[in-house]
Amino acid sequence: MSDTRNKADKQNNPEELETDTVEIVDGDTVTDEVDVVEQLRQENAELKDRLLRTHAEMENLRKRGERQVEDAHKFGIEKFASALLDIVDNLERALAVEEGNEVALREGVQLTLNSWNDMMKRFHVERIDAVGEQFDPNWHEALTQLPSDEPEGTVVAQHVAGYSLHGRLIRPARVLVSSGPQK
């Protein structure tokens, strides 16, 4: 209880209140602290500047990436289109063959087809020939089924060849499929 009384007396008597001591700092210490504060401000400004530059650099990188993707979409088939031009030239020469010279025309068309096949190989476009193979709905499109001596599900004729690009189907082979021997 005496502790409670002492506290009450101190609250009522302002002269007996404890006072905080204030330490007096010499001028050198204040100057050192001001220097530290100034140095921290400079570092802060430098870091802000680096942050802004990094942000701008990232934004420029993003825009450059978008431009490159856009260009890849626009000009991605440039080499392919250029290779097609040789085939177009061959077709135009075939059309220029004089009438009555069907042998030369046929040879020209065969050379054009050979050029076409070579160009397709260069660009990893592979022809899918399905005759004699088992029907596969992943690679073939059945136009109809017909009775034949071949086992059921075997491709007996191909209406249109299929094509794949790097192993990915770009057009299925359109085929006629055996329904087995006629009963």
- Cβ atoms of 161 and 131 within 8 Å: the answer is no
Mean pLDDT on 51-66: 96
| Highest mean pLDDT, choosing among 59-63, 72-76, 83-87, 111-115 | 59-63
DSSP state of 177: E
pLDDT tens, position by position, 142-175: 999 999 999 999 999 999 999 999 999 999 999 9
What is the number of other CB atoms lying within 10 angstroms of the CB of residue 59? 10
* pLDDT at residue 131, rounded to an integer: 96
Residue 128 has pLDDT above 70, yes or no: yes
Evaluate whether 86 touches 114 at the Cβ level (below 8 Å): no
Average pLDDT, the chain: 86
Helix (H), strand (E), coil (C) string for 92-131 = HHHHCCCCCCHHHHHHHHHHHHHHHHHHHHHCCEEEECCC
Residue 154: Cβ within 10 Å count: 19
The token pair at 52 is: 């802004």
Instruction: Show Cβ contacts of residue 87 under 8 Å, excluding neighbours closer than 6 positions.
Output: 112, 115, 116, 119
Contacts of 83 (CB under 8 A, 6+ apart): 119, 122, 123
pLDDT given for residue 20 in this prediction:
54
This model's pTM is above 0.75: no
